[in-house]
A and B are shown apart, each in its own frame.
Chain A
Amino acid sequence: MEIKDTIKSFIMTELLAEKGLGSLADADPLIDSGIIDSFGIMALMSFLEEKFSIQIAGDELIPENFESVMRISALVAQKTECSLGV
């Protein structure tokens, strides 16, 4: 599964399941819409760090990086490239 799909699937099943939304577009706002709240962000980060073996810290911990599936995927892609030394 692509990074984007993995992230989307986590959000749909873990953070959105109750809300019964059928789909989530890559650019849909996650924070401003309240899909990701202060608990959701911790759950999401735990998932990302474990799934992709990365660490998100310091300057990267800004809401902008989690604004949409697109932005989260970009962060993960950049971090996994770094950890692979690409």
Chain B
Amino acid sequence: MDFSFTDEQVDLREMVIKFARNELDYDLAEYDKNGEFPLEAWRKCAEMQFLGLPFDEEYGGGGSDFLTMSLVLNALGYACKDAGLVHAIATQVLCGMQIRMFGSEEQKQKYLPDVCSGKKIFAQAITEPDSGSDALSMRSRATWNGDGYLLNGTKMFITNGPIADVVIVFAVTDPDKKTLGGISCCFVEKGFAGFQQCNPIKKMGLTTLQNGELVFDACPIPPGNLMGKEGQGGMIFNESMEWERSFLPAAHLGTMERVLETSIRYAKERKSFGQSIGKFQSVSNKLAEMKMRLELGKLICWKAATLKDQGKRATLESSIGKLFISECLKQTCLDAVQIHGGYGYTTEYEIERDLRDSVAATIYSGTSELQYNIISRWLGL
């Protein structure tokens, strides 16, 4: 498999890095402290077409392939220190991909231009207070009442949820069927009767990302708001997870690269016992490990993206990539704090924020434990 990037892709990555450094220059420490969503930065990213890159031009998209989009996300993870913003962008793109794959033509025309322009914020709601890893055991019910569906239930931890204009909600439509045929997917829009968006949940990291509980109390869903067919939700979920696990790690690799560079710089500058700390093997080994994780992570990430571009399945590759890269990100950030010593523990050096942000990567989109389970099942265990 050839992982080399074209000149255009390399130039695009450089352009995104330059843009992020120059334009996404808000006071992140302040936003982090207040748990505030950087709306202006979101708009700037939308203007640059980061939200619409992989979608057809007729819907306002950039018409690029998945690998290129992954590379843009990677550049953002590298040059934008706000992992919350980067995750919000990725969620918007992933919602658009679901619509592209499973939405009707009418739904594509209605929603995709808003995905691309960022005028509306999108979210996808699967997790519930009592079901996360075992997502398909969800209890939210969409009941047919002759005119449409009535949606009842609660969703939890939903990224972009508190500020979303459109939410793709998964709910049970046929409790008698096993999960694969009993779940469906629908669009719920801000302002629908019985739809309540709760306040953002306070978190240890990714504080600018708005995560919250969504409550549906006899919320009427018009029949035209069903995405895909009734009973297709379980399969839409599977497909979406594969795209998501192929995509989000690209951002984490960007962060790992930035954290590595920062740590190398520090290891060269900081003196102890008359020499740079990078000369001590217990420090340089950590840096070498960081580099190994980064380079190995790139291989599996670009492989998964390339498979997806070829129209192939990447179930195993996306699980391996998601597990490996998220755990590597966490370890890399932890090692970076250690290399920076006391300074690494201060907010001023900003590494502690990367560490706080990194932990979530091993939880969302299927925990590390779940990825081990998937890989083991793949091995016939």
Q: Shortest Cβ distance from A60 into chain B, in angstroms?
A: 10
Chain A residues touching B, majority SS: helix
Given contacts A58-B102, A61-B239, A62-B229, contact A38 B177 (CB under 8 A): no
Residue B341 is within 8 A (CB to CB) of chain A in the complex: no
Contact of B232 among A38, A42, A43, A63 (CB under 8 A): A63
**B154-162, B307-315, B353-361: which lies at the A interface?**
B307-315
Contact of A31 among B181, B229, B315 (CB under 8 A): B181
Structural contact, A31 and B178, CB atoms closer than 8 A: yes
Q: Shortest Cβ distance from A79 into chain B, in angstroms?
A: 13
Residue A14 is within 8 A (CB to CB) of chain B in the complex: yes
Structural contact, A37 and B315, CB atoms closer than 8 A: no
Interface flags, A9-49, vs B, CB<8A=1, else 0: 00000100100000000000001101011110111011001
Note all chain A residues with C-beta closer than 8 A to B374: 39
Structural contact, A39 and B180, CB atoms closer than 8 A: no
Note all chain A residues with C-beta closer than 8 A to B315: 42-43, 46
Structural contact, B231 and A62, CB atoms closer than 8 A: yes
A61 to B239, CA, bound (A): 9
Structural contact, A61 and B136, CB atoms closer than 8 A: no
Structural contact, B377 and A43, CB atoms closer than 8 A: yes
Interface flags, B110-124, vs A, CB<8A=1, else 0: 000000000000000
- How many residues on A have C-beta within 8 angstroms of the other chain's C-beta atoms? 24
Interface flags, B96-118, vs A, CB<8A=1, else 0: 00000110000000000000000
Structural contact, B311 and A37, CB atoms closer than 8 A: no
Note all chain A residues with C-beta closer than 8 A to B285: none
Cβ-Cβ contact count across A and B, 8 Å cutoff = 66
Closest residue of chain B to A42, judged by CB? B315
Structural contact, A32 and B377, CB atoms closer than 8 A: no
Structural contact, B235 and A49, CB atoms closer than 8 A: no
Q: Shortest Cβ distance from A55 into chain B, in angstroms?
A: 5
Q: Shortest Cβ distance from A44 into chain B, in angstroms?
A: 11
Closest residue of chain B to A36, judged by CB? B180
Structural contact, A38 and B313, CB atoms closer than 8 A: no
Residue A86 is within 8 A (CB to CB) of chain B in the complex: no
Note all chain B residues with C-beta closer than 8 A to A36: 180
Q: Shortest Cβ distance from A36 into chain B, in angstroms?
A: 7
Residue B234 is within 8 A (CB to CB) of chain A in the complex: yes
Q: Can you show 6 pairs from A to B with CB atoms below 8 A apart?
A: A37-B179, A41-B234, A49-B312, A61-B236, A62-B229, A62-B232
Beyond A63-B180, A64-B181, 9 additional pairs, beta carbon < 8 A: A14-B380, A31-B178, A38-B136, A41-B238, A46-B313, A49-B313, A62-B228, A62-B229, A62-B235
